[in-house]
Amino acid sequence: MQKPVLVHVEHLTRYYGQTCAVKEVSFELAKGEVLGFLGPNGAGKSSTMQMITGNLAPSAGSVTINGIDLLDKPKRAKHEIGYLPEQPPVYRELTVDEYLQYCAKLNRIARGHVGKAIDTARERCGIGEVRHRLIGNLSKGYRQRVGIAQAILHTPAVVVLDEPTVGLDPIQIREIRTLIRELGEEHGIILSTHILPEVQATCNRVQIINEGQLVFADSVTGLEQRLNATSLIAGFHAAPDAATLQQVDGVTQVETLPDGRVRLHYANTDPSEALIAQAVASGWRLYELAPERRTLEHIFIELTCSDEPAGDPAVAAR
């Protein structure tokens, strides 16, 4: 059964004077998805997030939140959005319960439903034990939890989280990531982050924006396929020339490294067995053979530091 689409962004564009910060960005977010939104500084990520949450008007394009056009009916559409900025908008002089009651009024939750809404948000975010404590006396991890609680208090369809684990210790990071995955089961989550491993740990879809355009859009499964080894590092005591190695079944390209080893590129067929057999038969004295795995950082740098112009994300994802 196809999940309902909660966010539909089409040809979103934003100019600042003559500068195009965001150009023709289009994507969808369905219920149950956690979308990791990545991009280097100045790539247009923040502008895109601000337009999706209704805090910045687009120069062109449209945003639909849970079937509601954000430009035509901004109040109704924004009611379907929960937002946690990088700095949680909490009041340190209030207790957790006082703050959530204040947020309930801001979100115009009916008086008879406020208690249940707060109880649910407290339970989901694990902040019941600190409900009577001043927010200013809480750890940063708990303040982040309170910030997430205010974002989901009015049960929005879409939750937008901007750098939710920055400044947390490893235990707090793990707890917040678990919370985000749990929230992703009932909401659509857009997670903006600079922490690349967080995407693999938390998200099931990934998008990378560069120079205002989406240059990568794929599932985490598709991303992991891109991360699979497509090259081998080999070392020989009696190394053959590159032309000879090029003849090994499966090898598509040979690259000599500064330390005398070689990088053997391949496409579909791993040439390891053929290379070992040939090395033994020819006396190449193979002493090292290891797969070279790519990381998300490699892909991120490859897509955002290229001198070539950004392309179609569907092409980039292949």
Q: For residue 183, give Cα distances in angstroms to 82, 195, 218.
A: 12, 19, 21
**What domains are defined for the chain?**
1-80+156-216 (3.40.50.300), 88-151 (no CATH), 229-291 (3.30.70.100)
pLDDT for residue 168: 85
What's residue 299's pLDDT?
A: 79
- Percent helix, percent strand, percent coil in the chain, to nearest 5: 35, 30, 35
Cβ–Cβ contacts within 10 Å for residue 239, how many?
A: 18
Contact 109, 79 (CB under 8 A): no
Write phi, then psi, for 187 (nearest 5 degrees).
Answer: -125, 175
> Along the chain (318 residues), what's the average pLDDT of each consecutive run of 10 residues?
90 96 96 92 89 94 96 95 91 97 95 96 94 96 94 95 87 90 92 84 92 91 74 94 93 91 89 95 95 78 64 40
CA dist 316 and 137 (Å) reads 46
Residues in the chain: 318
Residue ranges of alpha helices (H) inside 43-110 are: 45-52, 74-78, 96-106
Identify the helix (H) or strand (E) that includes residue 231: strand 231-236
Question: What whole-number distance in Å separates Cα of residue 29 and Cα of residue 274?
Answer: 45
